[in-house]
Structure 1
Amino acid sequence: MVDVVFLCIGCVVVLCVIQLLRLITADCDLVLQWASKFGKSPKRLRGKVVWVTGASSGIGESLVYELASVGCRLVLSARREEELNRVKKQCLTCGPLQDNDIMVVPLDMVKQHEHADAVKKVLQHFKQIDILVNNAGRSQRAEWVKTSVVVDREMLETNVLGPLSLTKAVLPDMIARRDGHIVVMSSVAGKVGGLLPGSYTGTKYALHGWFERLRIEQYSDNINVTMVCPGPVYSNLLAIAMTEEKGKVVGGEMDAGEKRMATSRCASLTAVAIANQLDEVWISFHPVLAYTYVYQYLPSIARSQACKRGIFQFRKSREGQ
């Protein structure tokens, strides 16, 4: 009997060590880690019509290459049509797609009156929309007290109301077919308060509130919602990141020496999350991933330490998601 008890204790210890090692070496949450190794492959998305906004650069661009490689039919949207055409050309070299399998739809998320017409064009071409990836958005670098309410409003229009508008335009088709998947590119800043400036963080928190409710309401219609929360990645976000003044941008570049994830790795993990229809995923290196766990499970301690130690103190030179 004693031997059995010691054996059980030993197994528990081994499992705890393995789990700890997984946490220490991880670049995503444990559920996504499991799905990437043992879950469904993104190859199961072959033939699906996937609409990706913000597809002309950054995570969005890398994601469409990932989806093209497994044979998804694609709708590419962003404001710059010439960049979308460049991305489309590259997609055609990534996988078994023909020109007619990729549709370029220039779209400004702020111009919500154009969203319904854009959806009509896509439905006329592909007859259905299986997955909508709300990836388009802007970052911001400014102190809370110095940021104009005009900037706050513009950030909300771009990062929140734009995705809401497009999703509302897409949903009727999904509901009619009782099949659909809405993917929202949030940020760990939408989980860890104070990680980045207020306007950006606020918009990411808002996305969680709105789309978590959508998940509940549309569950019976078989509409899935996936919230993707990346940490720091290498991208061109700083070039157009807003500041505290309307019309003013940071216009900088990310430091190659910073600890950031490549957009290709973030896109690969995002594709796994989509294929497995995971509710929420965190994609980041440590220490940001560790902060996310602490904020999720020990919120009072996390907030106290963040304030006392100035862990997320605003610095104009420091960039994030």
Structure 2
Amino acid sequence: MSGDLLLWLLALGALLALAVQLLRFLRADGDLTLLWAEWQGRRPEWELTDMVVWVTGASSGIGEELAYQLSKLGVSLVLSARRENELERVKRRCLENGNLKGKDILVLPFDLADISSHEVATKAVLQEFGKIDILVNNGGRSQRSLCVESSMDIYKEMIELNYLGTVSLTKCVLPHMIERKQGKIVTVNSFMGILAAPLSTGYCASKHALRGFFNGLRTELATYPGIVVSNIFPGPVQSNIVKNALTNDGTQAVHSDVDQSHKMATSRCVRLMLICMANDLKEVWIADQPFLSLAYLWQYMPTWAMWLTNKLGKKRIENFKKGLDADSSYFKIWKTKHD
């Protein structure tokens, strides 16, 4: 075989490999490291059994689905949120459909924004189960209002709940993990912790703050390799987060449009979260296309990302003013769904 022919074959092989990777990326619903872990990494069914997992925001959405999937893995669960009746409902369903008994689930209602309650709650978990293997910081609220129309109370609540509440609970659990020299601190952030968009200035600020805090905390824990700090960034996921978002005067947002077909199924998002926990990944992005591409643009080409976001932001504001989900009609041609 001549040298020229060999070079042509190598170049063709490289192009084909690039084309395959591009097609994989266009179909991806998570960052490439996460999807590699899903394919070749450790299984949650192997790694998470017999652990004590504390989930905040467990009464709905991602937290609720996380409780259901964890209940099938043989873990002990602590379910926290403000609404005790909803937590009891989640517990009943975990017992009906999972592999747990009543003694394996502790319902522990408290307000994440009430920092004074965190130490007591942590002691209650340790008294019940003797340890905390995984803390899942999932509690929080979103925002749907323009900055110029929003009261400062909105920004105060975003920081006190989403950021300070999460930091406080983490600080209460951290000494226990340091004493044991092991544990996982998993924080459910948001794509708004990577990028930015209109109607969510306060929410973006709180989520960017969380990213900075936990990345900094990870460096402080470098001498404790058994303690893993994971930041999970979901994009649009089917849940009540928009319905429960705060508007400009602090009231709850209610949208007439209930179509969430453009968003990722909650079950798929949670499955990828469990893969992150099983493989001790430090940061993962979870979203269908084209939202996933936006995260890559903001991370690696911020100038282009800001230009595109400005264009899309006008539609986002327009949707919101019409009473629709702000993200409902960006890309109607993208309808990838995962069960």
TM-score in same-fold range (> 0.5):
yes
**Gaps spanning 5+ residues in structure 1: where?**
none
CA-CA distance at 1:4 after TM superposition = 3.2
CA-CA distance at 1:312 after TM superposition = 6.5
Secondary structure class of the residue paired with 2:97 = coil
Counterpart residue number, 2:276: 273
Counterpart residue number, 2:32: 30
Counterpart residue number, 2:326: 319
Counterpart residue number, 2:337: none
Letter in 1 for 2:192: A
Confirm or deny that 1:197 pairs with 2:204: no
Counterpart residue number, 2:241: 237
CA-CA distance at 1:277 after TM superposition = 1.1
Change (3 A) 1:205 1:3: same
Count residues in correspondence: 320
1:248-305 CA deviation, whole Å, 9 max, x = no partner? 1113365325401111111111111111111111111111111111111111121133
What is the CA–CA distance in structure 2 between the aligned matches of 1:57 and 1:304, rounded to whole Å? 35
Secondary structure class of the residue paired with 2:223 = helix
What is the CA–CA distance in structure 1 between the aligned matches of 2:106 and 2:185, rounded to whole Å? 19
1:230-250 CA deviation, whole Å, 9 max, x = no partner? 11111112332101113x111
Secondary structure class of the residue paired with 1:281 = strand
1:113-168 CA deviation, whole Å, 9 max, x = no partner? 01001000100111110110000110110001211111100111111111101000
Counterpart residue number, 1:226: 230
Letter in 2 for 1:80: R
Letter in 1 for 2:196: G
Counterpart residue number, 1:104: 107
Confirm or deny that 1:182 pairs with 2:185: yes
Superposed CA RMSD:
1.8
Contact 1:235 1:254 in 2 (8 A): no
Secondary structure class of the residue paired with 2:126 = helix
Change (3 A) 1:122 1:308: closer
CA-CA distance at 1:307 after TM superposition = 2.8
Secondary structure class of the residue paired with 2:231 = strand
Secondary structure class of the residue paired with 2:91 = helix
Between 1:304-313 and 1:89-98, the stretch displaced more is 304-313
1:37-83 CA deviation, whole Å, 9 max, x = no partner? 11111111001111000001000000111111111111100111111
Between 1:87-96 and 1:46-55, the stretch displaced more is 87-96
Identity fraction in percent: 43
CA-CA distance at 1:94 after TM superposition = 3.3
CA-CA distance at 1:308 after TM superposition = 5.4
What is the CA–CA distance in structure 2 between the aligned matches of 1:304 and 1:226, rounded to whole Å? 30
What is the CA–CA distance in structure 1 between the aligned matches of 2:260 and 2:228, rounded to whole Å? 38
Secondary structure class of the residue paired with 1:277 = coil
What is the CA–CA distance in structure 1 between the aligned matches of 2:277 and 2:199, rounded to whole Å? 26
Structure 1 stretches of 4+ moved >6 Å: none
Counterpart residue number, 2:332: none
Structure 2 residue corresponding to 1:120, chosen from 98, 123, 137: 123
What is the CA–CA distance in structure 2 between the aligned matches of 1:18 and 1:282, rounded to whole Å? 21
1:4-54 CA deviation, whole Å, 9 max, x = no partner? 323322321222111101110111111111111111111110011110000
**Gaps spanning 5+ residues in structure 2: where?**
329-339
TM-score normalised by L of structure 1 = 0.95
What is the CA–CA distance in structure 2 between the aligned matches of 1:253 and 1:124, rounded to whole Å? 45
Between 1:192-201 and 1:24-33, the stretch displaced more is 192-201
TM-score normalised by L of structure 2 = 0.90
Secondary structure class of the residue paired with 2:242 = helix
What is the CA–CA distance in structure 2 between the aligned matches of 1:255 and 1:224, rounded to whole Å? 37
1:87-112 CA deviation, whole Å, 9 max, x = no partner? 11111233322211111110110111
Contact 2:147 2:199 in 1 (8 A): no
Counterpart residue number, 1:143: 146
Secondary structure class of the residue paired with 1:240 = coil
Contact 2:79 2:107 in 1 (8 A): yes
Letter in 2 for 1:227: N
Letter in 2 for 1:319: A
What is the CA–CA distance in structure 2 between the aligned matches of 1:12 and 1:101, rounded to whole Å? 52
Structure 2 residue corresponding to 1:159, chosen from 155, 159, 162: 162
Contact 1:238 1:253 in 2 (8 A): no
Letter in 2 for 1:197: S
Change (3 A) 1:253 1:91: farther
Confirm or deny that 1:286 pairs with 2:293: no
